Chain A
Amino acid sequence: MNKNNRMIEYIRSMKRIGGITFLLSLIILVTAIINPQFLSSYNIRNILRWTGLFGLLSLGAAFVVITGGIDLSIGSVVGLIGSIAAYLMVHAQWPVWVVLIFIIVLSATIGLIHGLLITKIHMQAFVVTLCGLFVYRGLARYLMDDRTQGYGTGFQSVRFLASGRLPSAFWTDGQAPKFILNWSIPMPFILLLAIAVLMAIVLNKTIYGQHLKATGRNECASRFSGIHTDNVLIIAYVISSTLAGLGGLLFSLDLNTVQPSSMGNMYELYAIAGCVVGGVSLRGGDGSILGVILGTAIVRVLYNAINVAGVSTQLEQVVLGLVILIGVAADEVVRMIAAQRKVRESMILAQKALEKSKQAET
């Protein structure tokens, strides 16, 4: 029976993912027809790398969005952590592993502060994280004196996290066969997959995930069930900021230069867009990790497709906005039609039952 249940659950979740997968395939197909180069290993690699980098931010944002909240500070955290990481490694010359631990702790602390302000002082998440957006951006500029940070030519080992690829890196002499060289997966995407698997387990298998979904849907009922809803929310914000911080590190390693004043601007909106396209409801309670990754992929593929298909650079935001809008609207319309069909069916059934009872009377 349990196996059967799992099948049903699986099919149900696939239905939700189905629309997004269709949209993604459609964009890929159309772009590939316009420019076959779109499917070249070089381009696929690039798309995977960007999906990996932005996907981390979307995953974090998804946890907050599932609670019914919002995190507007993600982009500024990316900028702050990205520049601090570069500064500490290059200028302060801290050991790499110390820097890694430090920035994880720092970004988790940022999330902790957000969570405490939201739950204990009862501030609105929008306000808290909006202030965060300003504060961390300013802090990054102040701490770095507005100087661009970079890694130069060094730090190849840690930069592997962002610009490396597997499995081609196993051939230490760089003599990997051409096929493997072409189709090796960029590290950010591998990291994303690893973290996504972890997060999917957290969301679907652990007590925390269950409480997260419950709190997002019905906070009152969750509190009455003895859940520490405050802690649930705090942890969601910690996850969001920590992944944003990790994203900041990877972005800075990938780009090799960080401008504290602009790095990560608007990334919170890309992260939330990824969630929304991936079927995470801003009303809270609903969302799947696979959906978030597909949603992020759609946004990244779209950006790439716009360039590759030769749409004017001024129009790209228009295309992006419209495709997201149409995708989400189509999803809603399909659901509405399904609901109406259900009603029609039951009306016909009821009519039949009524006729039958009338016949029985006569």
Chain B
Amino acid sequence: MKSRLFVVFMVLLLVVSVFTVSAGAQKEAVAEKPLIGFITNGPYEFWTYSAAAVEILKKDLDIDVEFLLPPNGLPEEQKRFIESLVTRGVDGIGISVTDPDNVTPFLNEIMETVPMVMFDSDAPNSNRLAYVGMSNYAAGRMAGQAVTEVLPNGGEFMIIVGRLDAQNAIERRQGMIDELNGEPYVAQYPGKMTPNTPNLKLGGGKWTLLETRTDGGDQSKAKSNSEDAILKFPQMDLMVGMWSYSSPAIISAVADAGLLGKMKIIGFDMENELLQAVKDGNAYAALGQDPFTYAVRTIEILAKKARGEAVSIPADKLIDVPALKITGQNIDEVWGKYKAQLSDGNKYLEATK
């Protein structure tokens, strides 16, 4: 009996919280300005950078933007947000789709009246205007480029990643391999995968990918994998961390081994640890996503569409926001920008809470 009461209480709590959120979303709308909805895939810090863009875009484009973070990152929450935006007469919606396979019919229905742009996470089979995002494959090519810069005379390296069955890991790794092999450049993932065999010779034997070691998402496993690699391959020149926590784990292992500065490091994503290492000269490059630009491109397209202006969209409807390659040369500038965006974004989120 007691436990049943508890469940009822929890459900009530959930309902109330949803109401408060959607009530907040239904604040007074000014009729004349176009209203654009921007829905993320969850409440993550990543989106704070996007929030920073909203304030600027509101002024520059003279529009209203509703910036919505689904509290649990659930498809239902995104659905509810969309429905309440439509009731308010929204003029365009940007969304990072959490469950593309199942919500596509619903999105298509909405898109009969309201135009949509997907960002970061696509629903490729929907009737969206465009998809704005980073090609992981292109980012991999960029990382490969960085390898040629840091090891111009060739060398041996190692990849540390969570799982190799994740699409972003496959694309990033493949991009690196193709770049080092000197394949002709394409921006989108060509769909092949080089198997994970040890001592993969690349660029005609100039570079060697010693191994790609997985840790299943466990940070401390990532660190011990790095340590074991340092032990096993004393001649290794470079380590590449492919997931956000991979590079901090590598940096920690390299620091413990007393090899900071000697062992080269390249990492993906903009973890503070990695940026600090780039700044200190302990890592060569970081390949960061650019959520600020995601928001800019998405909202620009939607605002133009709302005003009936012409929008140029490529035929494949894919708009690539390239990764930011951060090295010792631009670290101060980029990091400064990130920090500024972060504080602007936080201010915006605080104000609209």
A residues engaging B (CB < 8 A)?
Answer: 35, 37-38, 40, 42-43, 46, 50, 53, 145-148, 150, 152-153, 163, 251, 254-259, 262-263, 265-266, 303-304, 307-308, 310, 313-314
Contact = CB atoms under 8 A, between A and B. Distances in A.
Interface in B250-275: 251-252, 256-257, 271-273
Contact of B252 (A255, A265, A304, A313): A255
B19 interface: no
Interface string B181-213: 000000000000000101000000000000111
B227 A257 contact: no
Contact of B232 (A53, A255, A308, A313): A308
B231 A42 contact: yes
B135 interface: no
Contacts of B224: 46, 50, 303-304, 307
B169 to A, nearest CB: 13
Interface stretch (B40-48, B140-148, B295-303): B40-48
Given A254-B220, A256-B248, A148 B271 contact: yes
B220 A255 contact: yes
A286 B118 CA distance: 59
A256 B252 contact: yes
B276 A40 contact: no
Interface string B210-225: 0111100111110111
B248 A145 contact: no
Contact of A304 (B228, B234, B256): B228
B177 interface: no
B231 A308 contact: yes
A147 B45 contact: yes
A313 B219 contact: no
A334 B88 CA distance: 75
6 contacts: A152-B272, A153-B276, A257-B219, A257-B248, A259-B244, A262-B219
B276 A152 contact: yes
B296 to A, nearest CB: 23
Contacts of B228: 43, 46, 304, 307-308
Given A255-B223, A313-B214, A146 B43 contact: yes
A259 B245 contact: yes
A35 B232 contact: yes
Contacts of B214: 313-314
B229 interface: yes
A256 B343 CA distance: 23
B6 to A, nearest CB: 12
Contacts of B212: 313
Enumerate the 7 nearest inter-chain pairs by beta-carbon distance, A residue then B residue, closest first: A307-B228, A257-B248, A147-B45, A46-B227, A262-B217, A43-B231, A146-B44
A254 B253 CA distance: 10
B232 A266 contact: no
Given A259-B245, A307-B225, A145 B220 contact: no
Nearest to A147: B45
A112 to B, nearest CB: 20
B219 A145 contact: no
Interface string B270-305: 011100100000000000000000000000000000
B123 interface: no
Nearest to A256: B252
A42 B252 contact: no
Given A43-B227, A150-B273, A259-B244, 7 more contacts: A35-B232, A40-B231, A42-B230, A46-B228, A146-B45, A255-B249, A304-B228
B271 A257 contact: yes
A150 B272 CA distance: 8
B102 to A, nearest CB: 22
Contacts of B229: 307
A146 B232 CA distance: 34
Contacts of B217: 262, 265
Which residue, B196, B217, B220, B245, has most C-beta atoms of chain A within 10 A? B220
Nearest to A307: B228
Contacts of A150: 248, 271-273
